[in-house]
Copies of this chain bind each other. A is one copy, B any other.
Amino acid sequence: MAVNAPELSPPLPVPGFKVGTASCGVKSPNLKGRRQDVTLIVADVPCHAAGVFTNNRFRAACVRHGEATLASHSESIRAIVANAGNANAGLGEMETVWGRELIETGAAAANVSADVVLSASTGVIGTPFPIERIRDGMHEASESLHDDNWEAAAHAIRTTDTFPKWSSAQVQIDGKTYTLTGIAKGSGMIHPNMATMLGFVATDAPVAAADLKTMLKRVANRSFNCISVDGDTSTNDTLYLLSSGIGLGYAPLADTTLFEQALTELCIELAQLIVRDGEGVSKFVTIEVTGAASENDARTVGRAIAVSPLVKTAFAGNDANWGRILSAVGNAGVAIDTNGITLSADDVLMFENGNLHPDYRDAMGMAVFANPEFTITLDLGMGSEAATIWTGDLTHEYITINAEYRT
């Protein structure tokens, strides 16, 4: 039950990239041919690249490998190989072996060196990795490589996602038009710090790897790290950014401001799509925290609201229970003066400077909370920093998905 899933315009091809997919039955042989589950993204030229990874101490083979590869080859990446249906995680020593085989399989299919291939796996943890089936699938995917195949890839990286997620943008810098196309998958376990989330962004804007690295961290902190579905984070979360521009012979951008802005907007759009498709989510709630002493404080308070089961069930129940919101704020671990708090839901002022507003009536808040989308605004009265968090509610369907199916 996705919340207002938008009609997406077709994704744009990005100069220098081709994409292929296949269906090989990663999760189970009898799914072969029924849903795409392997993806190959191949660059015609060496790409400058960056990655942001999970903070979970259990880091799947693909995460460990991706980090190492970017440390040594961040200016010459040629391919991303991805699979859904099996995370290749929690498997001890075999995980590393299978992770390496996935890379080699992808390198052979892309006809590039294994040293410059990144990988990403998502799906069930702890089930042996079906490398033979994936090898067959990757070969098949290489036969479908095409520059206009991003939509298929957005389908193929899904697990429990109910719709494919992509976004494209074009940005004009110094008279030249560059393209950005990103795909993502999310659904359950989504939380600040990038829970079971995969995101791949390709661009032909010429930005050097050193700049991409710091930029991608900033962008993730304002997009994917600002969403929460259930507060859990996974072993495999990965965001990759590949830039073909320098390899295509374009001069590196002197000023990356416009590009970073376009990248941030694109990643926010992908992140919001993930929340809209969160497991069991029936509401899309924006939490704006203002008046904080630091951006970090603002984000911490926003996340505390977003992950509280009592707040999330109140969202689900159309219950404008501001007491639960304030209690979550009080639990955030951030120094606040409770007398300085002001709280609104859309344009309804509920709480002002630590007191319930005299004009506020329950029915006013209830009317806002009955909508499928609304904004909670919380001013801490401590400073001028702010952050925005996007989250959903906690519903019966979340329990059904996660108690009754193994993911």
Contacts and interface: CB of A to CB of B under 8 A. Distances in A.
Contacts of A4: none
A310 B90 contact: no
Interface in A60-110: 87, 89-93
A58 B327 contact: yes
A62 B55 CA distance: 40
B89 A323 contact: yes
B188 A330 contact: no
A371 interface: no
Contacts of A231: 231, 307-309
A328 interface: yes
Nearest to A126: B323
Contacts of A398: 309, 313, 399
Contacts of A189: 310, 327
A124 B189 CA distance: 30
Contact of A316 (B234, B356, B399): B399
Report copies per complex: 2
B356 A90 contact: yes
B57 A314 contact: no
Most chain B CB inside 10 Å of its own CB: which residue of A124, A126, A189: A126
A304 to B, nearest CB: 10
Nearest to A341: B58
Interface string A378-400: 00000000000000001110111
Nearest to A229: B309
A355 interface: yes
Interface-central residue, A89, A310, A321, A356, by most chain B CB under 10 Å: A310
Nearest to A310: B232
Nearest to A311: B232
Contact of A322 (B90, B235, B316, B319): B90
Interface in A285-336: 307-310, 313-314, 316-317, 319, 321-324, 326-332, 334-336
A96 B231 CA distance: 35
Nearest to A397: B399
B56 A356 contact: no
Interface of A: 55-59, 87, 89-93, 124-126, 188-189, 230-235, 307-310, 313-314, 316-317, 319, 321-324, 326-332, 334-336, 338, 351, 354-356, 394-396, 398-400, 402-406
16 contacts: A56-B327, A56-B330, A90-B351, A91-B356, A92-B356, A125-B323, A126-B323, A189-B310, A230-B309, A231-B308, A232-B324, A233-B331, A309-B394, A313-B398, A314-B403, A321-B406
